[in-house]
Structure 1
Amino acid sequence: MNKWTRLVIIFIASIVVGFAFNMFLLPHEVIAGGVTGIAMILGLATPVNTGIWMILLNIPILVVGWMKLGKMFIANSIFSVAVTSIAMIYIPVAKVTEDALLSSVFGGVIAGAAIGIIIRNYSSTGGLDVISLLLTQKRDIPLGGLMIALNSIVVFISGFIFSWELAMYTMASIYITGLVIDRIHTRHIKLSLMVVTNKGEEVKKELLNNLYRGITVVDGEGAYSAAKVKVLYSVITRYELAFVRPLIKAIDPNAFVSISETMEVMGNFRKDDNFMKKPM
């Protein structure tokens, strides 16, 4: 995927986030999580538009992210925040339904799907997304679950400012958003990859040339055929699986490949999203 395609996807997903906020959550005073939620509270409590508050509150967090997550990630995040903020300024705040619970559910699903797509395309919606991503680099924690925990504080703030009934709707929306994000952003899920092939050297070379992953190579022998084979073992993320499959298939379509989910990885395992040596 080239950078322009990525930016188009981020652009569309960011507009969808603004749509979910203005058409489902804000009309019922159901607050989103984190900095966005605080911006919503300030937007409801003051004459200043929520989109403007989003820009102001995200500036210091994006500066920290620039130093820790890289220029491209933060540049994409600034673009996403700007598009979402502008979308929220121009999309009218209107009720799609009078049912606050229904709006919380659908708003959470739509926002979660859009945010998950934004994060998967090496960007974020700013705020606690950036802080959560920084924390997931240190520990393999599901991003959505971490965001639920960090965003819970907004529930208590909205409860004191508005009502506890709306706070519970907010919690439901945040929970659903986190679940949907984890269905899309799966970097924390580790997979054990085992490849049995008679083209071991070629497969090993191609994987090493394209991935920042270590590979263990073991000599093997077919029990029935007595053919000499190579067994390659590595641990990858679920993201990388989409790149690894075609790499192996292109070299040895007959390779035996076993993929299973790994509960925990100890030792030297690269945790950031820059797992590709070559752009795909």
Structure 2
Amino acid sequence: MPEISPPTAPPQNAHSALDDAQGIAYGSLMAALSIVVLTHLGFVTGQTAGIALLISYTTGWDWAPVFFVVNLPFYWVGWKRFGPLFVAKSLFAVTLTSALAAVLPHYIAFSTLSPALGAILIGALTGAGLIALFRHGASLGGIGIVGLYIQDATGFRAGWVQMLVDAAIFGAALFLLDPVAVGWSFLGAVVANLTIAINHRRDRYIV
């Protein structure tokens, strides 16, 4: 059975609709919190969130709508391989994450946050959020969908796929942002992707 594809006959321990709703809500909240920390520190991240951040930094546009639009072309891959339910869940997750990332800065402020701790927090929040989404048949779109597609087809873990793509995005960020900030940002991405690669394993978690 594909790792996140709904089986023809759901097993007894399959997630309920309520399980999926809370899992996607939790994952979206963690991802949105990581974006709040990222933008506060002026960091960048990988995947489509990182692409949206670079566009936001260079144009002044808000991250949330840019992130939503950047993800749109990738839903075709999700629809083709994982079906409409996966796309619907992912679209909901992306929309909720975008909305929360736009609202949360009005309720959260940081007087002191070191770059090192911020990078670790970003990685931990992102990793926890993505694992929750993956385990409930969703993704934050973009590279996450492609990573899951490759993992399902070849066994090459989604976390490693994302790490390779992240490296390319960070290389581009070096031309746009302070290299020190990019270095701290890369630490956050490493923490996030190692969290996913170690904890989100097909042989340990199926439904």
- Counterpart residue number, 1:110: 125
Q: How does 1:59-74 map to 2 (within 5 A)?
A: 59-74=72-87
Higher relative contact order, chain-length normalized (CA < 8 Å, sep 6+): 2
How much does 1:107 deviate? 1.0
> What is the aligned residue count?
191
In structure 2, list runs of 5 or more residues that go unmatched.
1-14
CA distance in 2, matches of 1:86, 1:156: 28
- Counterpart residue number, 1:86: 99
Aligned pair partner of 1:35 in 48, 65, 86: 48
Q: Which runs of 4+ in 1 moved over 6 A?
A: none
Contact 2:77–2:146, Cα closer than 8 Å, also in 1: no
CA distance in 2, matches of 1:20, 1:88: 9
Aligned pair partner of 2:161 in 146, 150, 155: 146
How much does 1:82 deviate? 0.4
Structure with greater strand percent: 1
Q: Percent identity?
A: 21
CA distance in 2, matches of 1:96, 1:140: 44
Aligned pair partner of 1:20 in 24, 34, 38: 34
CA distance in 2, matches of 1:96, 1:35: 29
CA distance in 1, matches of 2:133, 2:101: 17
CA distance in 1, matches of 2:111, 2:48: 24
Structure with greater helix percent: 2
CA distance in 2, matches of 1:135, 1:142: 8
CA distance in 1, matches of 2:60, 2:175: 20
Contact 1:148–1:175, Cα closer than 8 Å, also in 2: yes
How much does 1:138 deviate? 2.2
How much does 1:46 deviate? 2.1
Contact 1:40–1:50, Cα closer than 8 Å, also in 2: yes
Contact 1:158–1:166, Cα closer than 8 Å, also in 2: no
Give 1 or 2 for the bigger CA radius of gyration.
1
TM-score norm. by structure 1 comes to 0.65
Q: How does 1:215-254 map to 2 (within 5 A)?
A: 237-240=203-206
